[in-house]
Structure 1
């Protein structure tokens, strides 16, 4: 098992990718602190993990509150005796973001309030800073370890109507590079995943909504790769597990010499595009 004997803390673990990785990491031998602002969701994840034979605890914490996430790290160390992996996964989209997907109401950038900005900034960037700050002393005491953050494809290319979200995720990428440089001498690696596809629709749903447990593409109906915008054509849609397996690689010893990297975990060639379309005859069929 790739995480045998490791202790991992995962924020935003009550649903989506965080829940999937809580299950995956424990199957790979880790003991996991399931951290979420929603107590019920955290407890639901804990139940799933324990029913599968995994070792985990559930902790309620708001990552935008430095004291709360610091206490979550301290609870983890008190319970398990150490910390090897801290994953700052919790994230939210800015208000009015991606309305066509979420079925919500469009909100123009200039109409977003200071409170809107502070909310998305607090969770998506300050939350990563606070999680890392809380984890570093425990990782130093452990002789090293790994910090992982969840960034986004929106940190690399533009998406409509989520400029504030994109700004916070670009900040995560810069933070990862800076921390990798500063913390490497302590044996601490710092990386991020930047999902493009295969993420949970819960991200765009109101707080407290039932946990879907599948990706956008999986719940959209029968999969047809010929009409998918993903350049890579596979016979199945991208899933939460596709992102989870990249996260597993980055926190395991298989990636021992990777640090300061932001990896597009489910890009499938999407970000390779330029801002124009070419005729199909400029893209010949693969030679058999």
Structure 2
């Protein structure tokens, strides 16, 4: 308990999924939390639920594609709680109908994803860092993705935008470490958020399960707990890192599960 007691956290994309889990865990461990989301009703409901459980939280509308909206969320946090010491840049999006291979992708979609997935991280950090310096330091955590480390047949813009987040994380850590500001990333693999559970067919989940090192899929709290650790002083000597939280899905030679199945069949013959 009280792992982030006294800290003030701004969580973008905090109305649902990973963002919601993180906001709840931060509040449970003593942080004052601002939940910023385009889904303003969901953000308000999330804040009310946290308060009903004894935590401290408020909500604000956020359009992560707009510079002024990001700045407003940061300023609201400081005005409401007096400081800002934790920033979780969590907003991100993808579009499988438009973000295709390099030849066929919609170029407007490329621009949109770079703006929302990468530029929002830049802007959130840009506006938060001066306040963190005044507060004596802080922790910035950015949601990257395993798409930043492993390529795919589609989602070219998404992967590139998240790879940029990984590198931007290092730059922020390097440039502001002497101001006692740490910056780290979290790269989720497949995480069974409510949206994923409702939209991913069982056959697709089976494919992911086949190649996981662990015998289960990730949950939103697996990412939330990682962010909580990075926000806390328990991680005070960690900066510039992106922690891959993906159940070992990308760990082994990709042929390992198939070879195991082949060996199993040969032993049964």
Could you state the TM-score of these two structures normalised by the residue count of structure 2? Answer: 0.88
SS in 2 for 1:165: helix
**Secondary structure of the residue that 1:238 maps to in structure 2?**
coil
CA apart distance, 1:136? 0.4
The answer as to whether partners of 1:85 and 1:145 remain within 8 angstroms in 2 is: yes
Deviations 1:76-102 (A, max 9, x none): 0000000110110000013427xxxxx
| CA–CA separation in structure 2 for the residues paired with 1:243 and 1:68 | 25
Gaps of 5+ in 2: 265-269
Indicate conservation of the 8 Å contact 2:101/2:154, yes or no. yes
- CA change 1:43–1:226 in 2 (3 A) is closer
Q: Which residue of 2 aligns with 1:197?
A: 190
CA 224–126 in structure 1, closer or farther in 2 if over 3 Å, else same: closer
Alpha-carbon contact 1:96-1:161 (below 8 Å) kept: no
Preserved contact between residue 10 and residue 89 of structure 1 (Cα < 8 Å):
yes
Q: Compare 64-73 and 113-122 and name the one that shifted more.
A: 113-122
Distance 1:154 1:77, change over 3 A: same
Shift in Å at residue 283 of structure 1? 8.7
Residues 1:226 and 1:15: Cα distance change in structure 2 (over 3 Å): closer
* RMSD of aligned Cα (Å): 2.7
For 1:46 and 1:19, how far apart are their aligned partners in 2?
A: 9
1:148 paired residue number: 141
Do residues 241 (structure 1) and 242 (structure 2) align?
A: no
1:178 offset after TM fit, Å? 0.9
- The equivalent residue for 1:126 is 119
**Aligned-partner Cα distance in 1 for 2:101–2:5:** 48
Alignment of 1:72-83 (within 5 A): 72-83=73-84
Please give the secondary structure, in 1, of the residue aligned with 2:103.
Answer: helix
CA distance in 2, matches of 1:71, 1:30: 20
**Which string of whole-angstrom CA distances, capped at 9 and with x for unpartnered residues, describes residues 112-170 of structure 1?**
33321121111100010010001001100001000100000000001331010000000
1:272 maps to what in 2?
Answer: 251
Whether 1:158 aligns to 2:159 is no
User: Who is 1:66 aligned against?
Assistant: 67
**For the residues of structure 1 that align with 2:13 and 2:211, how far apart are their CA atoms?**
28
Q: 2-side partners of 1:171 and 1:91: how far apart?
A: 13
TM-fit CA distance, 1:38: 1.7
Aligned to 1:57: 58
Indicate the residue corresponding to 1:10 in structure 2. Answer: 11
For structure 1, list consecutive stretches of 5 or more residues without a partner in the other structure.
98-105, 204-213
Conserved 8 A contact 1:199-1:216: no
Q: Take 2:79 and 2:63, find their aligned partners in 1: how far apart are those partners?
A: 19
TM-score of the pair, normalised by structure 1: 0.82
Give the Cα–Cα distance (whole angstroms) in 2 for the partners of residues 51 and 253 of structure 1: 27
